[in-house]
Amino acid sequence: MRLPGRHRTLLLALALCALLGLGCPLSCEVCRGPGHTCSGRMKTCEADKDACVVLVGEASSKGRKSLTTFKACMKFKDCYSGFVSTTMTPGDYMVSNAHCCQTDGCNSGSVPPPLNNRTENGLTCPSCLAPFHETCPGTQTARCVGPETHCIYFAGNVQAGIINTKFAMRGCATPSACHTQPGAEVPSAYYLYFLRRADCDRALYPLGRGE
Ligand SMILES: *[C@@H]1O[C@H](CO)[C@@H](O)[C@H](O)[C@H]1NC(C)=O
């Protein structure tokens, strides 16, 4: 069988790592860009990253909205396939849809952009958004929208490009946000979050103090 040199080398490497009983490294497409999809180069994942993710997210920061796609390697246990919505204030929210998979290049396609239902559902959560801080008091109130029925308190570090800083945030979220565990490394459309704290509780109706 005649194969181009690059393919022959790849096949040989895969045959060898299978033969030696080593975990063969996964390859994923890696990119970040505006819009419904992005395309980039294939990358061999670090040994502890056993999944590829494709995530499309709509974020609003102080009322400025944008749609971004993100593709990368990540840990399968930290990866959630599906829809996540979080709301801190009416102008600060994120909705995303993601697909996690575990074969080479399986994230090269796209996922449908998330539905963004901004209709208030009557539930509320303590709210705050504190970049550069480890905790935040939640003295404001977030009004939950669409399918958001839970309150989150996430804190840790956030990586934005070359900047890595502490952050804390509290607000409303879909139950799917409760899959996130402390220690997880989770992407949003723009940032990579390293979570030290990931609390998640049922939201209360407006008259309760969601604590
Ligand atoms: C949007 O959310 C509201 C409140 O939860 C709900 O009543 C409504 O059915 C949702 N609309 C759609 C199109 O999902």
Residue segments in the chain with a per-residue pLDDT below the cut of 50: 1, 208-211
Q: Is residue 154 part of a domain?
A: yes
- CATH of residue 147's domain is 2.10.60.10
Pocket lining: 156 vs ligand 1, CB cutoff 6 Å: no
Q: Is residue 7 part of a domain?
A: no
**Residue to mutate, 85, 93, 115, 117, ligand 1, most ligand atoms under 8 Å from C-beta:** 117
Count of domains forming the chain: 1
pLDDT at 130: 94
Q: How many alpha carbons fall within 13 Å on the CB side of residue 161?
A: 2
Q: Is residue 189 part of a domain?
A: yes
Range of the domain at 149: 25-202
For residues 202 and 111, the answer to whether their CB atoms sit within 8 Å is no
Q: Is residue 79 part of a domain?
A: yes
pLDDT at 18: 64
Q: Is residue 31 part of a domain?
A: yes
The values of phi and psi at residue 84, to 5°, are -135, 135
Q: Is residue 2 part of a domain?
A: no
pLDDT at 164: 95
pTM for this prediction: 0.85
The burial class, CB within 10 Å (0-12 / 13-18 / 19+), for 99 is: buried
The burial class, CB within 10 Å (0-12 / 13-18 / 19+), for 133 is: middle
Which atom in ligand 1 lies closest to the alpha carbon of residue 148? Answer: 5
